[in-house]
Structure 1
Amino acid sequence: MRVLITGITGMVGSHLAEYILTHHPDVEVHGLLRWRSPLDNIRSIYNDVSLHYAELRDLNSMIAMLEAVKPDRIFHLAAQSYVTTSFTSPADTLQTNVIGTTNLLDAIKILKLDPLIHICSSSEVYGQVTEDELPIRETNIFRPASPYAVSKVGEDMIAFQYFLSYGLKTIRTRMFTHTGPRRGDVFAESAFAKQIAEIEAGLIKNPVRVGNLDSIRTFSDVRDAVRGYWLLLEKCTPGEVYNIGGTQTMTIGEMLEMLKSMACCKIEHVVDEKLLRSSDVTLQIPDVSKFQNTTGWQAEIPVKKTLEDLLNYHRKRIARANMGDVK
């Protein structure tokens, strides 16, 4: 079996590649990346995967790459995934996430390939829900509150349309908040962890700068998420959409306090107005029963372990950088 992971150098893509190599060693793992993609996350598996340079926004490059790989399964994880950036670069976000996904699906159609295709949408498509809509089901209406969320609605719906119109075997997920080691430091929990590690190392001074701490999120670990993604293409039905998420719900402020309790010194924080969004999604609690009933998947890693590993990830990065400075 040949598996293609778009966005293999990201947090989720790299963990998924590691999961497949560890638990399914007979599977060929191929990864799509751009010429400027950082390779840090896949250094340990660089020689165990086949990497292909192509650009989602260039249909010709997608055709050439897919013709070379001819994958049996595709995990489409590549995206412009930072909500704040989508406000400053909305057209680029839409181009990457909607047109890029359309090019991927068009290339599959043009080449007459028949892979199972995981399309990674997002819980952000639901936007700001009301309390009577909790927990959020797959049938909830869309209220996208950012250009990123709009792009994920487009990606979600184009995948469904290509299933209906052309029979492409797309299966969509709407993943709720997931994090862990390698999380980009533009995301709240990773930004907090990085600042704490920098304060511990004496690189910056207190306080940690934060945004809205009242938002409610249900957290899951990226390593649980990728295990779920593998089960998705093993057991789920093309054309369907599935919520995936954890069971541990808390405010961003409570998550911050948990991280602060792990620090080696006293950590303070202050709200930075620049980190507040003009429109925000503050209530995300998923109903994942459809996915669990279909696959038997359960979130296993507690959020405390996830945050400890994320904090240690940043500590190790700082330590390595300091060793480099010494050299």
Structure 2
Amino acid sequence: MAHASPPRVFITGLTGMVGSHLADHLLAHTDWEVHGLLRWRSPLDNIEHLIPRVNQRDRVFLHYGDLRDEMSIDTAVRSAMPDYVFHLAAQSNPKTSFSAPIDTLDTNIQGTTRVLEAVHRHRPDAVVHVCASSEVFGRVPREKLPIDEECNFHPASPYAISKVGTDLVGRFYAEAYGMTAMVTRMFTHTGPRRGDVFAESSFAKQIAMVEHGLLPPVIKVGNLDSLRTYLDVRDAVQAYHMLVTVNPQGGAYYNIGGTHICKVGDMLDNLIGLSTVSGIRVEVDPDRLRPIDADLQLPDTRKFTEHTGWSPTIPFERTMADLLDYWRGRIAVNPNVLSR
């Protein structure tokens, strides 16, 4: 794609973990203008370091909207006029989706349709990344491991069902309208700025609170037997950058994930081993258990790695250490945080 001026990228969910790290990556490795979608009430913690650039209109621009509001999405896309689109925004917590299924389905399925319809209307030649999820595969029998792109969908939560819709909507716009839209099913990815509703970040936050004397030395947990493949978020956003720049193919769909495989309990043991407090105990909290769980999340990523040449570089141990240090830093500045 040739450009007389620097390309523009539109990132929905800019203030999330992935969106903020993607902005950092693109600012460091490209000359692109970064246009981000956020709700007017979105916390700015994850992009706090970018606020001076926003104020100076230095390559970072904010657009306010909501995936549930068609007019705001249309206005934001028309204003940004992007060459590249990363649709990352979503109601992304599987556990929350059990108590808020309608909101999850509307935000994730219809929200994706609103974004793609606006891009189709205003920038039909943009290269688009639609972020689905490994959760679409859900309950996978062991004989189908590792999970490849053609594995049957068996979603295990309203969130996962919504991401099946997201996946199909993304591919539909490529096939029906010839858009260069691609779908990814990203497996577990984490690191600094990870939301505290997700297991590894919740554990790291609790450990940091224990170290600061805010909690007794007991970590509340859910299902520790679930098998996961972990990837650092900073490797994940490099993969996303390569997705849209290395011979992008409209309608393509890829599994992306790390190479470190372990049970959730092993991940917790790693974090506890990094703590400055000894004798930390573990206690199952029934509220942290899902009615059903996608418990075997092991991807076959060859389709993506062979197409792009991408491979992860950040070791699991550094990811966990950086995640724990992130929470230590947050709580040192403000100890008034929820225990969850």
TM-score, normalised via structure 1 length:
0.97
Matched, 1:278 2:291: yes
Structure 2 Cα separation of the partners of residues 250 and 288 of structure 1: 17
Length, aligned pairs only: 322
Partner of 2:71: 60
1:150 Cα shift? 0.2
Partner of 2:47: 42
Structure 2 Cα separation of the partners of residues 301 and 153 of structure 1: 29
Partner of 1:98: 109
- 1:70 and 1:113 in contact (8 A); partners too: no
Structure 1 Cα separation of the partners of residues 123 and 236 of structure 2: 30
- 2:81 and 2:122 in contact (8 A); partners too: no
Moved more, 313-322 or 13-22: 313-322
Partner of 2:90: 79
Structure 2 Cα separation of the partners of residues 162 and 268 of structure 1: 50
1:5-61, Cα deviation, whole Å (9 max, x unpaired) = 00000000000000000111x210100000111101001112141000012212111
Structure 1 Cα separation of the partners of residues 121 and 312 of structure 2: 38
**Correspondence list, 1:282-293, <5 A:** 282-293=295-306
SS in structure 2 at match of 1:183: coil
Listed as ranges, the gaps of 5+ residues in structure 2 are 1-6
SS in structure 2 at match of 1:136: coil
Structure 1 Cα separation of the partners of residues 224 and 27 of structure 2: 38
Partner of 2:20: 14
TM-score, normalised via structure 2 length:
0.93
Matched, 1:158 2:166: no
Structure 1 Cα separation of the partners of residues 285 and 254 of structure 2: 35
1:172 Cα shift? 0.4
Specify the code of the residue in structure 1 equivalent to 2:33.
E
SS in structure 1 at match of 2:210: helix
**Residue 250 (structure 1) aligned to one of 259, 262, 266:** 262
SS in structure 2 at match of 1:256: helix
Matched, 1:123 2:128: no
Listed as ranges, the gaps of 5+ residues in structure 1 are none
Structure 2 Cα separation of the partners of residues 284 and 62 of structure 1: 33
1:111 Cα shift? 2.6
Structure 2 Cα separation of the partners of residues 111 and 255 of structure 1: 45
1:56-107, Cα deviation, whole Å (9 max, x unpaired) = 2121111211111110000000000000000000000000000000011111
- Displaced runs of 4 or more, over 4 A: none
Specify the code of the residue in structure 1 equivalent to 2:328.
R
Identity of aligned residues (%): 53
Partner of 1:27: 32
Specify the code of the residue in structure 2 equivalent to 1:262.
L
SS in structure 2 at match of 1:274: helix
Q: 1:262 to 1:132 in 2, by over 3 A?
A: same
Matched, 1:295 2:300: no
Partner of 2:207: 196
Partner of 1:51: 62
**RMSD value, Cα:** 1.1
